[in-house]
Amino acid sequence: MTNPHIPSQAKSLASLPAHQASTHKLWNTQGLRCLTLGLTLMIAGAGTAQAQSVEALEWLPGQSMMPTVISTPHNDVRKLLRQAKYPQALMLVNKGLANNPRDPQMRFWQGFLFEQLNQPDMAQQVYLDLTREYPELAEPHNNLGVIYAAKGDYPNAKASLDAALRANPNYAAAHENMGDLLVNMARQSYERSLSIDPKQRGIGLKIERLKPVLDLTQDKP
């Protein structure tokens, strides 16, 4: 899955750390497509589950209502992100938030950096808060969906991706992540059906034929 870009555009499910979903690894969150608020920031590169990358670092939440001038602190953070200097970037982000706690771009970066530093629970809370305060932004919803999916929480993952697509029907990363999610949900339903009635014919074949696609939704770069 792709965790959208950093507050520029979405983050792809493929950029979060890898997690087990039920006995199956769903998406490598480090490769999820996540966008920075407003743009497409794909740090992890191409992957099925995608989170925003560093190229999406230009996101300005509520762009139509906010100035487009990026401050020096934002430029400094972007530079560190491109160099993958995540601890240093997080220090600058936290400093910026100390001066302006409601800066959505800095908050989105904070969530993204928590993911890169293997703190998905903290990233989840940051994205959750952003979706509540900026429900019109697709990227936080997408990144949140990636985290839920990586944890095997498919119902909440789907709800988050649905919200991302309502906010932006043309959000390619969210569509890709939704596709990955539905494939994994199909596998889960087939396995559940087979466990209830092992004598069913054809279910095993359906699961077998899904495997090549399932492999593409996991262990992304």
Determine the average pLDDT of the residues in 94-115: 95
Beta-sheet pairing, 11-13 with 24-28: unpaired
Helix or strand (DSSP H, E) at 182: helix 172-196
Give 45-83 pLDDT, tens digit per residue.
333 355 554 444 455 554 444 545 445 789 999 999 999
Q: Is pLDDT at 199 greater than 90 in this prediction?
A: no
Give 28-43 pLDDT, tens digit per residue.
433 344 444 543 333 2
What is the predicted pLDDT for the residue at 106?
95
pLDDT class of 168 with cuts at 50, 70, 90: very high
What is the predicted pLDDT for the residue at 58?
53
Domain boundaries of the chain, sorted by first residue? 2-216
DSSP 93: H
Both structure tokens of 85: 């200097």
Determine the average pLDDT of the residues in 103-121: 96
Domain 2-216, CATH number (from 3.30.2320.50, 1.25.40.10, 3.20.180.10, 3.20.20.120)? 1.25.40.10
What is the predicted pLDDT for the residue at 204?
84
Between 102 and 69, name the one with better pLDDT. Answer: 102
pLDDT class of 2 with cuts at 50, 70, 90: low
What is the predicted pLDDT for the residue at 210?
86
- In terms of Cα–Cα distance, which of 221, 54, 53, 50 is closest to 149? 50
Q: Is pLDDT at 161 greater than 70 in this prediction?
A: yes
Q: Is 110 exposed, middle or buried (0-12, 13-18, 19+ CB in 10 A)?
A: buried
Q: Which of 3-12, 60-69, 105-114 shows the lowest mean pLDDT across its residues?
A: 3-12
Q: Is pLDDT at 194 greater than 60 in this prediction?
A: yes
- For the chain, how many residues are written? 221
